[in-house]
Amino acid sequence: MKKFLLFLLLALMFSLQFWGCQTYSRTETDIYTISELDTTTSYIDKNAPGNRDNGIIFSSSRTVQSERTMVQRDSVVNREYPAFIRLGLFESVGLIGSGSDYAAGMGLFGVFPDFDNMRTTYRGGTGKVFSGGLYRFGVAEWRLRWFRDNPNWTYGFTGLEIIMPDSRIEYALASFAPFYLRKRFYLREEIPYIAITGAFGISPLPIPSQYVNISASIDVGSIGGLNVRAYLGLAGGINSSGSYQVRISPAFGPTNPPKSVTSVFPYFGIGVSVLDFLNRVPELYTEWKDHEHSSWDIGLTQLILLNSGASSIYKSDTTSSMLTGLILRLATASVALPLLDWKVYAGTSLINFVVLGENEWGMGILPLRLGLWQTVIMDEMSVEPFIEYNYYPSEIVHIGGRLNLRVTEGINMGIAAGYASGSTVGRFGTDMMRQLGKQMSFSRPYIGLSISFFDRIFFPEHLRYFKNK
Amino acid sequence: MKRKLFLVLPIVFIFFVLACKYSNIDLNTGKFQGKIDGYNLSGYGTIDEINDNSVLIKEDGFYALKKTGVTELVTDLTVNLKEGEGVWLAYRCASNNYNNHPAILLNYSTKGLTIEEKGKNIINLDKYKARINEPVRIVFLNDCKRYDVLLDCDTVYTGYTDIPNTEYLLVKTLPKSKVLLTGISLDEREEEEENK
């Protein structure tokens, strides 16, 4: 365990070495010195009282004073630009054809697994389309200017990458901070971008895995931080006998001691990524304040603390409680649609927990949300009635509304009310159900307080659709 | 075989890491006057820093020079055309949006020297032609609204402009050109007088 923690620390330090030379934002400070020349001319007539003969002999008493001054003042301009080509929180790809006999069944995009089988001892089976998955946590890419400024080359790192061809964990390749080199060919240069991307990835350290990953993909996005990708690739590498995957694998035991495993597999996959933002090179020279946005809201965490009248999750006894449950949305986007002057939005979240009370709960992965975004006070307040359908692993229909007050650019507070009806559905497996609570159907209204962190609400002035209005 | 792979991957990785190169270069002026910041606005391989105080700008090279906080600039540099047509120098401008910024531009080429202001041609000085491997000292003196352009020791043009003074000097090679900049000095006007 100590060795693993030491490895984590070293991997973090190693990756920081490279992240340190690049940042999220680039600041330019320029000084303009403005020079102003000013000439003051004074005409003074000192007339003595009484009459005086002015003529040829006596000159005029009028004097002229001309004073020239120069004023110089500095105008300092600070400009903030994005410094990255791509910055993403989470990417998931459901892999097809990477291991048919031991298919894990990770579902479309790799995010709809059979939760009952989510254990290291599971050895998969046949008849499942998505045999494995590719997962990336924390993706960063920066511009690479080589080959005489050949466009759209990037280099970057992924915080943690896991490529699992099937359910056999000893064949899963994993790496902290693998290095990636990418080249994009843009087919569409307007939002949402469409590009063909070639990638070469390398994980040089032997633990957890040492591997290379070569792939080509068709990328659509980003819009609201959402991207959809189709991958074709080949990954190959080695898990040493000391690697975590080999040590916990049920394939090895006292009679069959751990040994290094070579894992080479081609794959085809369909993936999705959230909070994953892509800039083209011209956008690196566009100030942040002038960037184009397509969504009403993009956020990492949205929490509603609610009262639904159900028994509370916060108290184990039967006494009444003001709060009974919560709604938690992680990695949310609300993309404006061209309906009702772009007020209608389509939204989703990576994970959506709807917990109305003890035993009345459910979870949704990539739920479908349709709503109406109405700005009440510019730059401060907005309301959003919505209808949401959670289809997997729980089935929940959720109608509600939120009143949002922007506190800062990343923190919002408000009130929320709604009605949720559905059932937990037993797709979680008996082990998980024992931990999480009973499987139950529920229908309840609720009212609650909402608070959001790292959640940015956009107003009409920010959206690209209103720029020229 | 596996051991070889263990070794090869880190070596390949190091190769890529070496490509992670900063795009700004500090130039040593050698006068205890602080360093000049140089920014490579073009691709890797188009700008080479030589001996810590001179710069070779190759084809498609675009280079910005700046001395932080100094706007009443006297820029002094020796331009040595190595190949091609010549060089483009921009004063009273900034690296931001440099293609559209109003500026005073000097086109010093084998056809002569032309001076432009805010996109308008001010003067053509055909007499002063750039020649391959014949270094020429170009001095641009900012004095409030007035500016003087000196080639070697001749004041070839004096003009007046409303464009604010800035910290920058931008240098770009003309097509298929390669230029060596030596003796680079970006001084404040008073400093320059003292250094004489």
Render pLDDT for A26-37 as a digit per residue (tens, 0 to 9). Answer: 888 888 888 887
Task: Say if A52 is an interface residue toward chain B (CB within 8 Å).
Answer: no
* pLDDT the model gives residue A59: 66
* pLDDT the model gives residue A386: 96
> In this complex, do A30 and B168 lie within 8 Å of one another by their Cβ atoms?
yes
pLDDT > 70: percent of chain A? 89
* Alpha-carbon span A307 to A309, nearest angstrom: 6
Query: Amino acid letter at B111?
Result: K
Mean pLDDT of A358-375: 92
- pLDDT, tens only, B159-187: 999 999 999 999 999 999 999 999 888 88
* Alpha-carbon span A238 to A170, nearest angstrom: 10
* pLDDT the model gives residue B22: 46
Mean pLDDT of A378-386: 93
Tell me the sheet residues that pair with B40: B63
Chain length of chain A = 469
Q: Write down the mean pLDDT value for chain A.
A: 87
Least confident of A80-84, A236-240, A430-434, B48-52: A430-434
pLDDT > 90: percent of chain A? 50
The pLDDT of residue A1 is above 50: no
Mean pLDDT of A361-386: 94
* pLDDT the model gives residue B6: 58
Task: Say if A56 is an interface residue toward chain B (CB within 8 Å).
Answer: no
The ipTM estimated for the assembled molecules is 0.71
Task: Compute CA distances B72 → A63, A246, A288, B162, whole Å.
Answer: 36, 67, 30, 14
Tell me the sheet residues that pair with A49: none
Nearest to B3 by CA among A171, A264, A206: A206
- pLDDT, tens only, A133-176: 999 999 999 998 888 778 899 999 999 999 999 888 899 999 99
Task: Say if A146 is an interface residue toward chain B (CB within 8 Å).
Answer: yes
Task: Say if A280 is an interface residue toward chain B (CB within 8 Å).
Answer: no
* pLDDT the model gives residue B141: 93
What six digits make up the tokens of A423? 């059932």
The pLDDT of residue B15 is above 60: no
Which run of H or of E encompasses A283? helix A281-284
* pLDDT the model gives residue A270: 95
> In this complex, do B45 and A31 lie within 8 Å of one another by their Cβ atoms?
no
> In this complex, do B45 and A260 lie within 8 Å of one another by their Cβ atoms?
no
Mean pLDDT of B70-92: 92
pLDDT tier for residue B195 given thresholds of 50, 70 and 90? low
The pLDDT of residue A383 is above 60: yes
- pLDDT, tens only, A62-74: 788 888 887 888 8
The pLDDT of residue B95 is above 60: yes
* Alpha-carbon span A314 to A83, nearest angstrom: 44
Which residues of A56-152 form beta strands (DSSP E)? 62-82, 86-96, 130-143
pLDDT tier for residue B1 given thresholds of 50, 70 and 90? very low
Q: How many angstroms away from the CA of A110 is the closest CA of chain B?
A: 28
* pLDDT the model gives residue B116: 93
* Alpha-carbon span B179 to B58, nearest angstrom: 6
Task: Compute CA distances B145 → A243, B76, B161, B162, whole Å.
Answer: 69, 19, 5, 6
* pLDDT the model gives residue A56: 61
* pLDDT the model gives residue B38: 86
Which residue from B20, B22, B71 is facing A31, i.e. has the nearest CB?
B71
* pLDDT the model gives residue A429: 67
What six digits make up the tokens of A125? 């089976």
Task: Say if A14 is an interface residue toward chain B (CB within 8 Å).
Answer: no
Mean pLDDT of B49-59: 85
Tokens 């490895």, located at residue: A7
> In this complex, do B43 and A262 lie within 8 Å of one another by their Cβ atoms?
no
In degrees and rounded to multiples of 5, residue B99 shows phi and psi of -75, -25
* pLDDT the model gives residue A318: 62
> In this complex, do A21 and B20 lie within 8 Å of one another by their Cβ atoms?
yes
> In this complex, do B166 and A146 lie within 8 Å of one another by their Cβ atoms?
no
Mean pLDDT of A7-21: 53
The pLDDT of residue B53 is above 80: no
- Please give the DSSP secondary-structure letter assigned to residue A293: B
- pLDDT, tens only, A325-354: 999 999 999 999 999 999 999 999 999 999
